[in-house]
């Protein structure tokens, strides 16, 4: 039989095993009863075989040593094959690819069916060997192509993942995508992404999948123990084939036998970890682990960037909150109002339910309750038992609180965590599950204590709230110190004023009496008065009048001093605007601008601070002139706004402001720069000042602008009606 014809069907599109089996059957058709084709690895292990069995011979089980001996025995070699005669003839044909043994063809037939096996027969097998080499190389090439395609697909996937994650600054979306990709690639049963909490050893759950809700509610992952903790501490990938060996109380599904932990590292800092688990041993193969490591690297950088943005936004919100709360706290220098403002500002800033402000004497460790502020009604089942104003509180029995006051730092007590019996009882007495205690320290001296209660879920203070509370405590302490000094100064001022009034009253009567008696004396001695006596009388009269004028001046000065805290007055707003207009008109003329003032008929009396309002109006008019090119038009207009308000507006034909920049115009230090305005100087504080002044007077500011056409800046404010 022609061997070429026999193997022609091998070069088809069948799969590898089918092609081996077809080749084996062709060999059987050539007269061999039993045929076996085996693949061999570098260690001479038989990995895989395809065989066709006939009658008369049995297949042997090879050991590596026997196989080496058989195919290295030169006496049995016929061309490229090895022939062993006997009751069952045996031919072994080793197949080499690139000088590496990769397969073995075994041919068997009974002796009674045997024919001569010579070099001609061996040559026919050599041709078959060539075809087998082609089949093996084709299979290897196909596998390499498939592997390369998988790697290309994986690299493309990684590239898409990089682009997807890098384009987002939403931490929730980033961790969701990263966990989804990691689980799909590895086939894990459950997974979680955890981030490091800088304020404790606990890890925060950012995203999870495959865990029952009840397990997550009780779950606690930590840097200190478990597979995740070990991976974070070692900063390296960890594949655990027996999770029970290092679980150490770490949450896991009951069926889990293997776990993969990949730390999230950005800028050499561990920010979290990806933890995957599976009930199938050996699930996490090296290529899958490498994929998760790449995803973890990309996600760590994206998450770090997103968290930086989140922190910046949170910091901006905190700063705004601190500023607004600080304004509330420092809104008054009167003791009762100031202490209430401190209580209100701190309670609102930390989203608490109540705040208690105590004065404090360090040498006695006694605190006296000065003010209470309750934010809102409590949830059902919650009731706070707040002490009475004026009651005292001895802090010595509470070690955590006493230490916080001594070391000047905030401490948060939670009912489910506090250990000391006295502090447990203190929280129970107040009827709360969470309290933050912060000392109020000014110039190194603790002058008060703020107690902030949170009696609504989640009964915890967020890190940002603790930061705000600490920031406000120092500001509150400063205000409290100022209030105390102001109270002392006010007392001294009142004492001084009273003394001046008393002294002036006591001096006026004797002076008046002396002046009266002097005039009577002058009348008595009129007939006998000499020139010298007249000079003496005039001198006494001048001295008495001088003393009277001095007393009057002292009283006038005292009256002026007493009115310094009452700056508001009723003033004509239209006249104030006219004054500002006249002062700034030369500036508009220098730019060849047409500036006009339009005052609609109406009554424009207001109550306010003249200097502040004049400055606010001047800022708006000056901005109109500054941001209008030479030759433009600026219109200043006042008109009634309903029955009780007035409307002031400056309309210009200037550069205008893009719509996306208008929202922040009245924020401090913000300037809406655009082409054409680079040469205009400013600090970004003018409009913020206008907003502050107008709102202080009960009004509101606004802006309407179209880029390239001009702007309108104005405000509406209550008018004063007698």
Examine residue 657 and say whether the peptide bond preceding it is cis (omega within 30 degrees of 0): no
Q: What is the mean pLDDT of residues 126-139?
A: 78
Higher pLDDT among residues 420 and 219, named by residue: 420
Residues 6+ apart with CB under 8 A from 308: none
Check whether 6 has a pLDDT greater than 70: no
Q: What pLDDT was estimated at residue 397? A: 92
Using only C-alpha atoms, the chain has a radius of gyration, in whole angstroms, of 47
Confidence band of 647 (pLDDT split at 50, 70, 90): very high
Q: What percent of the chain has pLDDT over 90?
A: 11
> Each residue of 230-259: pLDDT tens digit?
898 899 999 988 766 655 667 788 888 899
In this predicted structure, which of 421-425, 437-441, 454-458, 621-625 has the lowest mean pLDDT? 454-458
Q: What is the mean pLDDT of residues 644-660?
A: 88
Contact of 264 with 130, CB cutoff 8 Å: no
> Each residue of 460-470: pLDDT tens digit?
887 778 877 88
Contact of 390 with 372, CB cutoff 8 Å: no
Q: What is the mean pLDDT of residues 583-591?
A: 88
Higher pLDDT among residues 483 and 392, named by residue: 392
Examine residue 458 and say whether the peptide bond preceding it is cis (omega within 30 degrees of 0): yes
> Each residue of 510-555: pLDDT tens digit?
878 888 888 888 888 888 888 888 888 888 887 787 677 556 545 5
> Each residue of 79-110: pLDDT tens digit?
778 888 877 888 888 888 878 888 888 888 87
End-to-end CA distance of the chain, in Å?
Answer: 127
How buried is residue 342: exposed, middle or buried, by Cβ count under 10 Å (0-12/13-18/19+)?
buried
Contact of 718 with 640, CB cutoff 8 Å: no
Q: What pLDDT was estimated at residue 336? A: 74
The number of beta carbons lying within 10 Å of the beta carbon of residue 24 is 23
Q: What percent of the chain has pLDDT over 70?
A: 79
What domains appear along the chain, each with residue ranges and CATH number?
Answer: 3-143 (3.30.450.40), 168-312 (3.30.450.40), 333-563 (3.30.450.40), 569-718 (3.30.565.10)
How many angstroms separate the CA atoms of 469 and 355, rounded? Answer: 11
Confidence band of 332 (pLDDT split at 50, 70, 90): low
Indicate the SS3 state at residue 679. Answer: coil
Extract the tokens encoding 571: 């003033």
Higher pLDDT among residues 518 and 431, named by residue: 431
Confidence band of 714 (pLDDT split at 50, 70, 90): very high
Q: What is the mean pLDDT of residues 178-202?
A: 83
How big is the chain, counted in residues? 722
Residue listed under structure tokens 């209660």 = 453
> Each residue of 139-163: pLDDT tens digit?
777 777 777 776 666 666 666 666 6
Q: What is the mean pLDDT of residues 172-195?
A: 86
Indicate the SS3 state at residue 540. Answer: helix
> Each residue of 304-325: pLDDT tens digit?
776 666 656 655 665 665 566 5
Mean pLDDT of the chain: 79
Q: What pLDDT was estimated at residue 678? A: 61
Pick the closest to residue 519 from 552, 549, 551, 544 (CA basis): 544
């Amino acid at each position: 039989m022609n061997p070429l014809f026999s193997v022609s069907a091998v070069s088809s599109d069948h799969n590898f095993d089918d092609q081996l089996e077809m080749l084996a059957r062709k060999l059987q058709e050539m007269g061999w009863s039993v045929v076996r084709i085996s693949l061999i690895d570098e260690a001479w292990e038989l990995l895989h075989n395809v065989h066709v069995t006939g009658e008369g011979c049995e297949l042997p089980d090879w050991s590596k040593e026997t196989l080496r001996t058989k195919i290295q025995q030169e006496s049995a070699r016929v061309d490229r094959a090895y022939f062993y005669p006997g009751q069952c003839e045996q031919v072994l044909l080793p197949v080499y690819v690139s000088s590496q043994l990769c397969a073995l063809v075994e041919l068997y037939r009974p002796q009674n069916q045997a024919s001569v096996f010579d070099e001609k027969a061996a040559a026919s097998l050599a041709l078959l060997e060539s075809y087998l080499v082609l089949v093996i190389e084709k299979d290897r090439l196909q596998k390499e192509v498939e592997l390369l395609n998988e790697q290309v697909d994986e690299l493309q996937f990684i590239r898409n993942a990089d682009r997807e994650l890098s384009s987002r600054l939403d931490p929730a979306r980033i961790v969701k995508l990263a966990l989804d990709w990691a689980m799909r690639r590895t086939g894990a049963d459950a997974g979680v992404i955890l981030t490091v909490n800088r304020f404790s050893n606990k890890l925060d759950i950012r995203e999870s999948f495959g865990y029952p809700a009840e397990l997550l509610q009780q779950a606690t992952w930590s840097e200190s123990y478990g597979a995740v903790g070990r991976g974070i501490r070692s900063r390296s990938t960890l594949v655990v084939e027996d999770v029970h060996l290092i679980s150490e109380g770490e949450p896991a599904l009951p069926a889990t036998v293997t776990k993969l932990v990949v730390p999230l590292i950005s800028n050499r800092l561990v920010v979290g970890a990806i933890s995957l688990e599976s009930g199938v041993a050996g699930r996490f193969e090296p290529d899958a682990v490498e994929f998760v490591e790449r995803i973890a690297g990309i996600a760590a950088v994206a998450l770090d960037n997103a968290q930086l943005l989140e922190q910046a936004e949170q910091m901006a919100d905190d700063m705004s909150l601190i500023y607004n709360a600080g304004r509330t706290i420092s809104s008054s220098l009167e003791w009762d109002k100031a202490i209430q403002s401190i209580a209100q500002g701190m309670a609102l800033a930390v989203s608490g339910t109540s705040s208690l402000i105590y004065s404090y004497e360090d040498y006695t460790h006694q605190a006296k309750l000065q003010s209470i502020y309750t934010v809102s009604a409590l949830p059902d089942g919650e009731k706070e038992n707040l002490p009475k104003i004026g009651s005292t509180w001895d802090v010595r029995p509470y070690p955590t609180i006493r230490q916080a006051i001594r070391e000047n730092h905030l401490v948060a007590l939670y009912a489910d965590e506090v250990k000391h019996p006295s502090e447990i009882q203190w929280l129970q007495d107040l009827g709360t599950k969470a309290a933050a205690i912060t000392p109020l320290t000014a110039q190194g001296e603790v002058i008060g204590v703020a107690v902030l209660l949170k009696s609504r879920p989640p009964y915890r203070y967020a890190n940002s709230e603790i930061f705000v509370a600490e920031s406000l405590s120092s500001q509150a302490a400063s205000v409290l110190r100022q209030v105390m000094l102001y109270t002392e100064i006010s007392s001294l001022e009142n004492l001084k004023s009273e003394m001046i009034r008393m002294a002036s009253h006591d001096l006026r009567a004797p002076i008046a009496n002396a002046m009266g008696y002097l005039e009577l004396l002058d009348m008595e001695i009129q007939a006998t008065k000499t020139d010298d006596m007249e000079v003496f009388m005039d001198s006494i009269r001048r001295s008495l009048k001088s003393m009277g004028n001095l007393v009057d001046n002292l009283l006038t000065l005292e009256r002026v001093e007493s009115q310094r805290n009452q700056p508001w007055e009723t003033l004509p707003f239209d006249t104030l605007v006219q004054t500002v207009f006249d002062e700034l008109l030369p500036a508009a003329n220098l730019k060849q601008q047409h500036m006009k003032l339009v005052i609609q008929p109406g009554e424009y009396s207001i109550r306010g601070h003249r200097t502040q309002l004049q400055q606010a109006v001047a800022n708006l008019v000056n901005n109109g002139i500054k941001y209008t090119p030479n030759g433009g038009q600026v219109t200043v207009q006042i008109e009634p706004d309903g029955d009780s308000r007035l409307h002031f507006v400056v309309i210009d034909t200037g550069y205008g402001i893009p719509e996306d920049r208008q929202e922040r115009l009245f924020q401090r230090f913000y300037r809406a720069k655009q082409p054409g305005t680079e040469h205009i100087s400013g600090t970004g504080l003018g409009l913020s000042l206008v907003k502050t002044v107008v709102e202080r007077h009960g009004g509101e500011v606004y802006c309407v602008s179209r880029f390239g056409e001009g702007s309108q800046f104005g405000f509406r404010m209550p008018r004063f009606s007698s």
